[in-house]
Amino acid sequence: MNDIIHLLPDSVANQIAAGEVIQRPASVIKELVENSIDAGATHVQILITDAGRTCIQVIDNGKGMSETDARLAFERHATSKIQKADDLFSLRTMGFRGEALASIAAVTEVELRTRREEDDLGVCLRIEGSRITSQEPVSCPVGANFAVRNIFFNIPARRKFLKSNHTELANILAEFERIALAHPDVAFTLSSNDQVLHQLPAGSFRQRLIGLFGKRLDSQLLPVDTDTELVRIKGFVGTPESAKKKNAQQFFITNSRFMRHPYFAKAIQTAYERLIPEGYAVPFFITLDLDPAQIDVNVHPTKTEIKFTDEQEIWQILLVAVREALGKHNAIPSLDFTATRQPDIPSFAPASAPQPPSLHLKDGYNPFHSAAPAARPAAQSQWKPLLDDILAPAPATPDAPTLFDELPQSTAQTWTRTSEDYLQYQGQYIITPATQGLLLIDQHRASERILYDKYRRLMREGHSATQGLLFPQILQVSAAQAATLDRIADDLTRLGFNVSNLGGGSYSILGIPTGTEGLDPVILLQGIIDDAHAATLADDTTPSDTATDAIHHLLATALARKAAMPQGELLTREEMARLTDELLDTSLPGYTADGRRIIITLTAAQLARFFT
């Protein structure tokens, strides 16, 4: 029998390994920019075309490479960062594996122009699918200029699974934010299709935060600064008022390296107990500086996971540091004992003697002689049909393990009311009889369902009525959120928003949809943008029609949820009737757009089981 085990060619091995390191255009940018920072660059320019599908160009003013180094850099496991295994525990550089450039060259067409300061001429190197096609001397500035074109050109299956340009651009912006935040001393410029998205000068950590996420964030930050023998913790946490239910900006940076660490995030969340509602999270931007020997970054090829030797101790220090920051800046509610105004306490007047309580007896009262019972008020006539309908004998049905019948999520489910009687309970539920039984309707969710269908119809058919604002409101967003807002601008116009781009991440809100006048325009639009941005990062749809329908569903759901009738609102009989009729006329009255139940049917047989 012939031998069947053989060595894979280097080109095939590189393509397989590239699957771990290079997952999308954002991965290429991450690896190239980190190499630029390791080369001592003080200014890095990133130019992308078609969200990185066509071209990614990274230009830096770092040390540059010699002709030999430039060629050797594309070999697997070729690196200048470490010499031996022990160097892994004293890392101060971003890269160290020697896999990034080899992986990039395996699945793209690469052109590198680089020169060192001591060289008169640089070198131009062209590589396609791990194969060097040309190498020649060239005149170029000091540093490196990488041009990466046609990602996954030789792996059509991988290229087919790239997501939409909006999604890939959103992931590039998210990766750029992490790198730029970890290195505020480096100037960055990011451009997409000849449009500058970010132009960040070198500066302080707070200046970098404002440059990335807008001036509005500045007023929501509390500084954190704690220095111990184990770790130095610096950065900022958000005020309790900045808490969000989702999409809170949360960043950990360890030794100038972005990382994800749910355990440390839990420490910060614990510091805000009883300060923010349950299910909410605050933004934070925390840097941790400690001895590299106390951490292990060689956990995952993306290098975003880090193991700590003293994890529990750092957790406690982080918790105390955040609580101290909250206390120093009066973010924790406290009693003010220095108030000059005193409460009005009635003074004791000794001239007026207290009066003893008086006792009045009813002479001739006999508890054994009861008077005729007082006449009870007549029952409301309109409730007689309701009781008759509930207590009417119902056909026998098999016993179910649950009290309430599960409603099928189908448009075929209909309800026919048998009376025009309505009862509101606790300002939350509407009760009315129907042929199927007693209907219990969640009025807030019913309003949400009605508005959802209305907004979907408006986006399909045309424009909604707009309520102009007497004083325009200014909305500040980050570059990533601005890209999302530009994507959904036409749909927002159909919904009734009138938004004008002022440039620099500032937008003027001139009008809002009719029916949302009682809501804060900035908070309303910011919430919709946050939902749309989160959905864009998780977008798995490539066809344009499917993506358009998905974004329509998202916008209608987000706006309906925020504009729906609030819980606890008291309704008249006419309002309850109108709400119920409009709900039953919707496409799926039993459930909200995100699958929450609106109607529960309580049959006569189920009522009878309560009294058996």
pLDDT averaged over every residue in the chain? 79
CB atoms within 10 A of CB 271: 21
Q: What is the mean pLDDT of residues 232-236?
A: 94
Torsion sign across C-alpha atoms 251, 253, 257, 259: negative
Of 473, 461, 547, which is closest to residue 516 (Cα–Cα)? Answer: 473
Number of neighbours of residue 229 by Cβ within 10 angstroms: 7
Using alpha carbons, select from 136, 175, 141, 139 the residue that is nearest to residue 41: 141
Please report where in the chains the tokens 């106390």 appear, as a residue. 294
540-570 confidence digits (pLDDT tens): 444 344 455 666 777 777 778 778 888 888 8
Residue 110 DSSP class: E
Tokens of 132: 């060097």
How do residues 132-151 score in pLDDT, each as one tens digit? 899 999 999 999 999 999 99
pLDDT at 331 over 70: no
> CB-based contacts of 339: which residues, under 8 Å, 6+ apart?
none
More confident residue, 256 or 21: 256
Rg (CA), the chain: 33
pLDDT (mean) for 81-106: 68
Question: 350: how many CB neighbours lie within 10 A of its CB?
Answer: 5
- Report the percentage of the chain scoring pLDDT > 70: 76
**In this structure, which amino acid lies at residue 332?**
I
C-alpha to C-alpha distance for 408 and 597, rounded to whole angstroms? 10
Residues across the chain: 612
The greatest distance separating any two alpha carbons of the chain, rounded to the nearest whole angstrom, comes to 124
Higher pLDDT, 494 or 84: 494
Is residue 153 within 8 Å of residue 104, measured between CB atoms?
Answer: no
Tokens (6 digits) for 542: 């490539």
- Answer for the pair 558, 527: CB distance below 8 angstroms, yes or no: yes
Gap between the Cα atoms of 121 and 63, Å rounded: 14
Q: Is the pLDDT of residue 158 over 70?
A: yes
State residue 42 phi and psi, 5-degree precision. Answer: -105, -10
Confidence (pTM): 0.70
